[in-house]
Structure 1
């Protein structure tokens, strides 16, 4: 069975955009991109939702319009929920669309790692007690039966971007920081949140491998980090880092390593190509790996593109696909 797993950050997918770009323009650009993926399982990030009524359910109306009339419209859908677990958040939901019906699914949000507590040194007014530094989003985990008694585990992630977290009294409404010390502490908090979420992803993988050491696992999404940064190392668990060859089967392998180094990028940031989106697979799943694709032909620079003035019709993230031949 040939199976294609893809990940794509759709960059604030919203049919009620705040910028000048018309949503219909986004539909015309994004639909061909999705069609080209030919994905059997598609992990999406940054899907916005809107309430039907003031206190009613929130619908992913932008995503509904995007997949309308396409094969993806009939796919099974798993959506992340807010901290209370009642409905999707207004912004940046995770979604997994799949041709296969999931056997089970869940979201993980401080279920395996408690939030760190921190009392800011530069908050204004001063903060008397430490407060929890919670992650911005959960991760989604879906398990798909393969018909031979085995399961494919897919984890959709969107780690926090390396931008300074808000600190009381240190940042003006339009975004300017009032002191370097305040910004530095906010940046430190952002790094703690990002690394903590990466740890929770790794512990989720450990939980799966404890149940089945030969589990087929794919961790997909926007990690907001390159291959050698700390958060990727936490999730991968390389034997070079653990110093223990007996743990090699627990390592996750980035499939982009099969591509030429010059082609390994999913974002262009001020002229510099960087790979922030990844598909990491367990070694048993790597045995069925065929090829990887990064669709970068139309990728614009997220900082200097003229489309940034009114909002891009596309995404400033390139989609990534991994194809497998599963027995």
Structure 2
């Protein structure tokens, strides 16, 4: 590859805008714009990009994102973004976006394209038969193939997996009971791991098609660095194997290896995994977490983000 490039992932924390909250949005811009400038990415993967209507009956579009990048280094970048599954417009919240200095020559979203939706029937209680539940992912995965400056293809998957919050189950009168929480948490884990599996199986197809593909899988995994979703995505017990996806954040000093702080506990839930051909070109990895607020005690509204950007630099 000619020269270096920087690839970053950043959960931008419910990036929203409304005509009635212009001042609040202006305060967010004052915090987020310097963050994006510091990231200085050539390819930027964003999570939690909301979409807005400028008027009551207008279609949803990325008003907040457009205004965030306006006048900055990312304004003229190529863009890929998710749509609401089955629709032709973005969802109101939690869309994914990829911004690239170089052309995006192919893009698609994965939503049960490989792992089909399934049904689960909760265990019967006191002889009453339970109704089966249709289980589907919360949002798509975003894929983009980017033509780098010298012509090589970089495959990028942007993920935002299900958070470890109990899925509300219909028909349960007490949604805070131990049973409801246990079943809801189990179902949340199934969604999270099922979508990690869909991403991994798509990655295997890329390995089938190319001898030494350049693949990056990044985003908010909503789980710790060695939990099941990450291990599924590795594709091997040893992620440095020929088809493994290596977690690049492990190259960061352990004391700084976190992207979220919750009640004093530092966790690495935002990750960047790389195929062997890409990992071999990784020159530097940084997590921009200086001054990161604790999400358990952060004031509302949030001005910046409660996630730290993860940035990797790749050499020729």
Smaller-chain TM-score bracket: over 0.9
How many residues are matched? 312
2:102 aligned with 1:100, yes or no? yes
Give the superposition deviation at 1:182.
1.1
2:221 is aligned, of 220, 223, 233, to 223
Determine the C-alpha separation between the residues in 2 that align with 1:296 and 1:17.
Answer: 31
1:153-168 correspondence to structure 2 within 5 Å: 153-168=155-170
Superposed CA offset, 1:222-280 (max 9, x none): 00111110010000123449xxxxx9210000111111111100000100100000010
Determine the C-alpha separation between the residues in 2 that align with 1:203 and 1:71.
Answer: 34
When the two chains are superposed, the root-mean-square deviation of aligned CA atoms in Å is 2.2
Partner of 1:285: 278
CA 1:268–1:104: 2 relative to 1, 3 Å: same
Determine the C-alpha separation between the residues in 2 that align with 1:105 and 1:85.
Answer: 16
Partner of 2:200: 202
CA 1:15–1:216: 2 relative to 1, 3 Å: same
Give the superposition deviation at 1:292.
0.5
The two structures have a TM-score, normalised by structure 2, of: 0.93
Give the superposition deviation at 1:140.
0.7
Superposed CA offset, 1:72-109 (max 9, x none): 11111111000113110001000001101011111100
| Equivalent residues of 2:213, 2:277 under 8 A apart | yes
Determine the C-alpha separation between the residues in 2 that align with 1:185 and 1:18.
Answer: 39
Structure 2 gaps of 5+ residues are none
Partner of 1:244: none
Determine the C-alpha separation between the residues in 1 that align with 2:18 and 2:56.
Answer: 16
Determine the C-alpha separation between the residues in 2 that align with 1:171 and 1:273.
Answer: 35
2:315 aligned with 1:313, yes or no? no
2:189 is aligned, of 188, 191, 213, to 191
Superposed CA offset, 1:137-192 (max 9, x none): 111111112365531101100001111001124377xxxx3411011111111011
Structure 1 gaps of 5+ residues are 242-246
Partner of 1:254: 247
What SS is found at the alignment partner of 1:249? coil
Determine the C-alpha separation between the residues in 2 that align with 1:25 and 1:140.
Answer: 29
The two structures have a TM-score, normalised by structure 1, of: 0.90
What SS is found at the alignment partner of 2:80? strand
Partner of 1:86: 88
